[in-house]
Amino acid sequence: MQFPAGFLWGSATAAHQIEGGNWNNDWWAWEHQPGSPCVAPSGDACDHYHRFRDDIALVASLGQRVFRFSVEWSRVEPEDGEFSAAALARYGRVLDGCEQHNLIPMVTLHHFTTPRWLAARGGWAAPEAPARFGRFAGRVMAALGARIPYVCTINEPNIVAVFGYLAGMFPPGARDPERYAAARANLLAGHAAALAAVKSGPGAAQVGLTVAMQEFTPVPGGRRSAAGFARLFGAVIPNTADGALALAEAGRSAWHGPYLDAVRDDGSDFVGVQTYTRVRVGDDGVMDPEPDAELTQMGYEFWPAALAACVREAAARTGKPVIVTENGIGTDDDGRRIAYTDAALRGLHQAIADGADVRGYIHWSTMDNFEWALGYGPKFGLVAVEPNTLERKPKPSALWYGDVCRRNGLDA
């Protein structure tokens, strides 16, 4: 089962989840505030900020071709309009490492974290947020753009908007429909501003927006759940008696539809699909997984078929080439990680055979890391990180995935 020639195989990280010591952003403040919903602070994370050379060498040794990482805005612009040449130079050294080991860098400009100075003004609900983000993107590109072939502007803006401004689960912890509407609009405007900055050069990076997607499965006759998994999506999906088919479509339209529609004609080069599971929708709202369903450490249903479904939808709705910029599973059972990824890739292969233009698959994540409010519990990594020594230990899944990358395919 061969994938197209030049297919991008790699794994993904995010600055706050692996670098450590990112104290100047909204997430660090959120982790440390009294009564924080986070089970643990990020702290040193994986100390990737200092260990990046070894980590990049490890990724290359495992057969991967792409290393996705984010540039931490709060390091580069620690105060409004004050830019750090030292921070930009450090990310330049990350690019040096990628070049040394023949890895293709894929750079994310915003991966959930926002500088404290902007958070104090309202974060993504603040009127100046899009322009400030565009200015930051321009500084990054001016310093590094000639060396960056792929840019993701904003990671999962729908998660940032819903969880931060409507469901109260991410900073700033708001449950305010008006602030949510402002944040959603500003995130899309911020993407547009960053897109313009990237296209202005230097360099000729391929640029896209990454969108959190789910497969919405209608369950006629099913009844909505009051808590648990349903809480994650109930904030934006109506609890009505419209029927399962109509509500599943409403879920797609509310959750990721505006972001897919926004990139259709915006001049971006690809859309990034990020998916892990499905959402079951009954006749009157979102349902939890079935009682006997296999669940991951995130409480998600083990559902690798979501990848092909979401890729097909993204390709059809946007008309853009697709890069799978995140897909994976939180589990302590590495055999299930292999099983999940194998099934997801087989579905992806079939979607490509059916005509979807898919350019790559970037696994989440390179290593076990800080999983936001859930701390260091969920294990998504291909590489384990020993908590006390921070020693990296590739898992069997890393070796299996490396073989897939080298072969550019799977056994039939």
* Contact yes or no for 385/368 (Cβ under 8 A): yes
Integer CA distances (angstroms), 240 to 247, 251, 278, in order:
8, 12, 20
Distance from C-alpha of 151 to C-alpha of 133, rounded to nearest angstrom:
14
User: Residue 156 catalytic?
Assistant: yes
Give the number of other Cβ atoms within 10 Å of residue 121's Cβ. Answer: 14
Distance from C-alpha of 183 to C-alpha of 129, rounded to nearest angstrom:
9
Q: Which long-range contacts (CB under 8 A, 24 or more apart) does 86-90 make?
A: 88/139, 88/140, 88/143, 88/144, 90/49
Nearest to 338 by CA among 368, 367, 363, 375: 363
Place of tokens 């579905």: 347
Place of tokens 């603040």: 126
Integer CA distances (angstroms), 248 to 4, 6, 172, 242, 343, in order:
32, 35, 29, 10, 24
SS3 25: strand
Q: Give alpha helix (H) positions in 19-108.
A: 26-32, 48-61, 73-76, 85-100
Report the chain's C-alpha Rg in angstroms.
20
Catalytic one among 156, 215, 313, 371? 156
* Contact yes or no for 284/240 (Cβ under 8 A): yes
Distance from C-alpha of 90 to C-alpha of 78, rounded to nearest angstrom:
15
Q: Which residues are catalytic?
A: 156, 326
